[in-house]
Amino acid sequence: MNKSATKTIAENRKVRHEYFILESFEAGIELVGTEVKSIRNGGVNLKDSWCSVEGGELLVRGMHISPYEHGNIFNRDPLRVRRLLMRKKQIMQLMGRVKQDGLTLIPISIYFKNSLVKIQVGLCKGKKTHDKRDDMAIRAAKRDIERALKERNR
């Protein structure tokens, strides 16, 4: 078996459209048992989530983990603030870059690494409207080229 088997659970596809991802980091996430079960069922949404550093801790906000169907009183608030687990030195470096350069921390994806839930956090810079248009034009051009090559190879 593969030593570090990873299985992606959810991705935030909007991030690649809205931001330039300068760097990405892996962090653990502090969860409760019913949240892990819900994540295993695919009940997580990263669409409007973001990260912040407060009191030396890295927190993820706006991440929606659906309540577990078979959980009762143990279910937590789906939108509660969850703590991310990284080394203190890394958190301080991220905090410095966010404050100094005006960057944003955004969760990119959530996945299982072996049996642990991990989250990929990106250090991002917002795109302007013309940047988004350029990306869409490049993507359309690539699609047209691939389509033409496929037609020619028939």
Token pair of 76, please?
A: 């937590």
User: pLDDT tens digits for 4-18?
Assistant: 678 888 888 888 888
Q: What angle do CA 111, 96, 19 make, to 5 degrees?
A: 50
Cα separation, 11 vs 88, whole angstroms: 26
| Paired strand residues for 40 | none
Helix residue ranges, H only, the chain: 14-18, 33-40, 88-101, 129-152
Q: What is the mean pLDDT of residues 53-62?
A: 89
Q: What is the mean pLDDT of residues 51-75?
A: 83
The pLDDT of residue 2 is: 53
Q: What is the CATH number of domain 6-127?
A: 2.40.280.10
Token pair of 113, please?
A: 């690494």
Q: What is the mean pLDDT of residues 116-131?
A: 87
User: pLDDT tens digits for 18-40?
Assistant: 888 888 999 999 887 888 888 88
Q: Name the pTM for this structure.
A: 0.77
* Domain edges within the chain: 6-127
